[in-house]
Structure 1
Amino acid sequence: MMTRYQQQGALLKENGECVFRVWAPFRKSVTLLLLGGEEVAYALTPEDNGYWSVTVQDVADGMHYYYLLDEHLQRPDPASRRQESTVHRASCVADPASFAFTDEGWKGIQPEDLIIYEIHIGAFTPEGTFQAARERLPALEALGITAIELMPVCQYPGDRNWGYDGVYPFALHNRYGATDDFKALVNTAHHLGMAVILDLPFCRSGAEGNYQPDYGPYFTEKYTTPWGTGLNLDDAWCDPVRDFYIQNALMWLDEFHVDGLRLDTLHACQDNSAQHFTWQLSAAVQELEQQTGRRKLLIASTDLNDPRYTNPVSAGGYGFTAQWADEFHHALHSLLTGETQGYYEDFGQVAHLARAFTNAFVYTGQYSSFRKRKFGRQLTDSDARHFVVFSQNHEQTGNRMLGERLTTLVSFEALKLAASAVILSPFIPLLFMGEEYGEKSPFLFFTAHGDPDLVEKMKKNRSRWFSAFFNTNKSIPDPQLEDTFLRSRLQWDTTTEANTAMLACYRFLIAFRKHRPAMRAISNDALQIYPAGQLPLLVVKRTSGQDTVLIILNFDKAVQTYRHMAPTPLKKIFDSAHEMWNGPGVKAADEVLENESILLQPLSAVVYEMAHHEE
């Protein structure tokens, strides 16, 4: 592992020697309490920049320990690699070399090959473990998935949570299984040709069990976020804080062989340094790539519509691989559901989705009615590989009051239309677990906090959020109830005729995206939006060399007609209304000549190939 950044935690070597290092710049003394047959105390020695360390012999994997601060305050290690049971109990020593990877031939994945599948480990299977998720990977390989993206899996309070309340960023939650179980999941994914992306919420650390402030100024009153004070990235003593999170990112990418990181809510990581934290992280990851010879990915999640995150460093950007494009979802969702509450107020027209198809961002400096101000920034680099799009994900589903999936909001035909819009777009598609077969179980917000004051504050905040979108006279599911979590688990019902057809449809669309040259083209002139007048149609032409396809999406609930004006004949490849996809069976024409009309079924998607026209 790269060591240019000062490493914290219990750093165990093969010979049983262990260096315990912690950052506590304002403490007068730090003592290690090592728990074995009996408690043994070791005084740590102060180092530069507020670090303390001690080297202990004959330390074994799994040994428990605390730190004693100023001889009276007993706390777990903020860089704990494993917790004994809860966020309040002892930390555990973990052997980084206990698992033998066998993925030597894996070199990572290129962004243009990504087809991402988002997973919550606890809700993905009945068992809710890394091991159970690993056993499901062959099914995802058969679907055509090339990367799984795991919602946060680090130690959080209680035994169920989305993961964004994590307080030990180096420690896997023990509810999901052992450290080696996670590594086995990554190892198996690589053997199946799938990358693993991990969601890291650096900018929104949880409140319960967060003992970082007892050690040092990890947070600063300069900034506030919806979750509390801001991360200290540019105030006094910020260098060790930045190094702490750089070390954390590198640990997952190097020791755990993870292929990429999604950095959640990066807009909350306020940093006015000359060298922005995201730039520093990007540089460290690029250095790791060079050392290991493996492609590593950084994906940003922001609420800014700011291209700087994916612009190259040479152009003043932060050099991330990609960023989530929420507005593609908003434009698509509003068209399909008719919802105009909250941020959907800014959407609802086919023109919005057309702009998203060509620009990823819909708002690039225009006035936003929802925000009551101009929003966004024009792209300087329209590389489609820089954006991740979706019709569903954990945020857009789980932050609905009743956690409804798109499956229960729109018709079966509309679901196939949504899948077509996402998978046939030029961007990186992301699927939310279960959508490929039409999962109907909700994905609700769930927690198991032990702090009653925190629970009450959380409920009030969510009620306030829902008031902008929904009729809050309805009962909001209690996130603290175990039943709320259990209702959110996938049912894996792929036996019904509709679900079987939906799964087959997803497989076809993914395979078509993977293997059709026109679908793999990424140059700016490879995609063209055809005018459809006032019709509720999105007509997209995609080209690569001699291969050209025409994608027609009908967002109306009535039959629409599109006239083919080009001299090039069309031959149909896909029609979501076909009986094989459990459609109504009234299909668009199989072949179309110049000036002929195409009858498009309500809420349908059709794809034609265009024969090469010789002048």
Structure 2
Amino acid sequence: MRDSRFDIWAPRASRMRVLIDGETYDMVRTDESWWQPVGLAPLDPEAPLGEHDYGYLIDNDDTPRPDPRSRRQPAGVHGLSRTFDASSYQWHDDAWTGRQLAGGIIYELHVGTFTVDGTLDAAIDKLDHLVDLGVDFVELMPVNAFNGDHGWGYDGVYWYAVHEPYGGPLAYQRFVDACHQRGLGVIQDVVYNHLGPSGNYLGMYGPYLSGQHTTAWGDAVNLDGFDSDQVRRYLIDNALMWVTDFHVDGLRLDAVHALVDTAATHILEQLANEIDAASAHLRRPLSLIAESDLNAPRTIATRDAGGYGLTAQWSDDFHHAAHVCLTGEDDGYYEDFAESRGGFSALEKVLTKGFYHDGSVSTFRRRHHGRPLSANTRAWRLVVSTQNHDQIGNRARGDRLSESLSPEQLAVGATLLMCSPFTPMLFMGEEWGALTPFQFFSSHPEPELAQATSEGRIAEFARMGWDATEVPNPQDPDTYRRSMLDWMELDRPERSGLLDVYRRLIRLRHAHPELSSPWLRDVTVTADAAQRTFSFWRGDLQVVLNFSDAVREVALDVDVRWTKYREQPELLFATCDDVAVEGELATMPPHSAAVFGPQAP
């Protein structure tokens, strides 16, 4: 065995031993508080590593603890680590040259509920559905090792290990390989802002967490305190592992606003620098997508302009504005986007400026929020959705839009999303209006933690005015089972009809360069709040949305845009067969959407 495979950083330890396949080896401290095992016979560096179960005995503790950089945890987060040789997999994606985010469409999924089996191998069987749908990227919710068999994955404690119930690291390699062979890129959701409560032994080794900064989850990751260089290296090496050993094409960085870092070079800038270098070496595009609640342009601004240089960021403003227009909800954080505060003004501002809160007052936050994007910001750098795991799963009942909206209304939302100037993202099952909820679920085996999770969830929504009886118990196995997609729903005509709408919209987006144009300055809006109609231009294409439950006639701006063509515009797409156009008027049935363009001479 190569001794370096068992080196460990442990500045807090005064004594270290490693247990490997039942035998205990002493360790010696080396530079920068790294420890190496003594007495291991080195093998040929070219020989395969094989599988070895191991753990560390810290100080005088005789209970072996897992490796913070463990690649496998076959017995769970409290068990021994197991070696994994990533280089032994025979890849079949030599023809894959990567895919840039610009012009792409993302499909977010949770491995454990995407199929009944809840594994990566089972997910491979559904990839042809995604190819037929027309998306470009598959984004996986976190797959790092976490406590219990099923959960969302955001309470992971071993960033380098793939959750065993999903199939482990080898199954992950097979999944990425299968995606690439089908022309699909892979984005992995990673959580670098906190660690879960169970199985987190990192503090026994070193100061992975910092007492000087806190987050909503407790102490922040130590990015700028004593001994933080190795913690930063721990984070960045993990990111590099995904793009090298597992061939992923991008990372979605969870809640980057919780990465508290006062160092001269912010951890996000350092990460972007190293991912850019890896991209150059691997000769394929690599994307970093931030989830940020700050509406801060520096997240995606270039490093020359004082930014972090990330590829893109999620934009909740689009979701909130669209959600209000579709549902009429105006409580909680939807308050700022309520139509009663100015009709369609929030949606118009988002489509033309990118951020709604760009220094404006947020009544929900009771303060000013955000900063304007540069006029030269490429719109595709904002990843938007009408549904995602957060906006569904963090509702008390985990209800999707399909529970309260008709397929016709969902098709209007789909048209708004797919014709927007941003990078669209779908959440699994959205494409057919899945009727299954996506609820918050967990499976903590420790009774105290299980009870705290359940009671905390109920208390959280009680403060928001929800009836406690409406909040499902996250520890109840039925909560997990209810959240599984029911693929048999596709046999229903109204569900397959909505799927056809999404397919046609994606084909339309790919066929017309106006719909992937990166310039917000080219988007213009005409809205009628009284009639509840909304129209916006993308180049020579006019997108018309009827949010009302009545037939509406909407003026088409023929004289403004299409004078160089014949006066009668062409209907390029409609969510239903009853949309009609005559001269300069489009007749829009209740809850319908359409896209018009010029007829060629």
TM tier, shorter chain?
over 0.9
Shift of 1:563: 2.1
- Which deviates further from its counterpart, 564-573 or 188-197? 564-573
User: What corresponds to 1:589 in structure 2?
Assistant: 580
Unpaired runs of 5+ residues, structure 1, are 1-11, 579-586
1:471-518 deviations in Å (ceiling 9; x for gaps): 224332111111110110000121111011111111000010011122
2: distance between equivalents of 1:535 and 1:318? 43
Unpaired runs of 5+ residues, structure 2, are none
1:236 to 216, 222, 226: 226
Q: Contact conserved, 2:203 with 2:209, CA < 8 A, in 1?
A: yes
Q: Contact conserved, 1:550 with 1:610, CA < 8 A, in 2?
A: no
1:558 to 550, 555, 577: 550
Shift of 1:524: 4.0
User: What corresponds to 1:277 in structure 2?
Assistant: 267
The RMSD of aligned alpha carbons is 1.7
Q: Does 1:384 align with 2:379?
A: yes
Q: Does 1:602 align with 2:594?
A: no
Q: Contact conserved, 1:397 with 1:403, CA < 8 A, in 2?
A: yes
The residue type equivalent to 1:549 in the other structure is L
Q: Contact conserved, 2:279 with 2:286, CA < 8 A, in 1?
A: yes
The residue type equivalent to 1:530 in the other structure is T
Q: Contact conserved, 1:341 with 1:468, CA < 8 A, in 2?
A: no
2:42 to 57, 63, 78: 57
Q: Contact conserved, 2:242 with 2:248, CA < 8 A, in 1?
A: yes
User: What corresponds to 2:524 in structure 1?
Assistant: 528
Q: Contact conserved, 2:12 with 2:204, CA < 8 A, in 1?
A: no
2: distance between equivalents of 1:205 and 1:557? 47
The residue type equivalent to 2:56 in the other structure is Y
1:304 to 277, 282, 294: 294
2: distance between equivalents of 1:612 and 1:465? 57
SS in 2 for 1:113: coil
2: distance between equivalents of 1:18 and 1:236? 25
Task: Output aligned runs, 1:444-483, within 5 Å.
Answer: 444-467=439-462, 469-483=464-478
1:282-307 deviations in Å (ceiling 9; x for gaps): 00000001111011010000111111
The residue type equivalent to 2:423 in the other structure is I
Shift of 1:318: 0.6
2: distance between equivalents of 1:112 and 1:82? 34
2: distance between equivalents of 1:125 and 1:588? 37
2: distance between equivalents of 1:514 and 1:465? 42
Task: Output aligned runs, 1:310-349, within 5 Å.
Answer: 310-349=300-339
**Percent of aligned positions with the same letter in both sequences?**
38
2: distance between equivalents of 1:289 and 1:472? 49
The residue type equivalent to 1:560 in the other structure is R
Q: Contact conserved, 1:233 with 1:271, CA < 8 A, in 2?
A: yes
Shift of 1:535: 4.1
Shift of 1:468: 5.4
2:13 to 27, 52, 63: 27
Shift of 1:186: 0.5
Q: Contact conserved, 1:23 with 1:215, CA < 8 A, in 2?
A: yes
User: What corresponds to 1:486 in structure 2?
Assistant: 481
Name the TM-score, length of structure 1 as normaliser: 0.91
User: What corresponds to 1:582 in structure 2?
Assistant: none
Shift of 1:391: 0.8
- Which deviates further from its counterpart, 40-49 or 20-29? 40-49
Q: Contact conserved, 2:384 with 2:423, CA < 8 A, in 1?
A: yes
1: distance between equivalents of 2:589 and 2:463? 34
SS in 2 for 1:32: strand
SS in 2 for 1:44: strand
- Which deviates further from its counterpart, 431-440 or 108-117? 108-117
Q: Contact conserved, 2:461 with 2:468, CA < 8 A, in 1?
A: no
Shift of 1:148: 0.2
Q: Does 1:573 align with 2:559?
A: no
User: What corresponds to 1:541 in structure 2?
Assistant: 537
Q: 1:369 to 1:468 in 2, by over 3 A?
A: farther
Q: Contact conserved, 1:120 with 1:162, CA < 8 A, in 2?
A: yes
Name the TM-score, length of structure 2 as normaliser: 0.93
Counting matched residue pairs gives: 581
SS in 1 for 2:505: helix
1:421 to 413, 416, 427: 416
User: What corresponds to 1:6 in structure 2?
Assistant: none
- Which deviates further from its counterpart, 61-70 or 275-284? 61-70
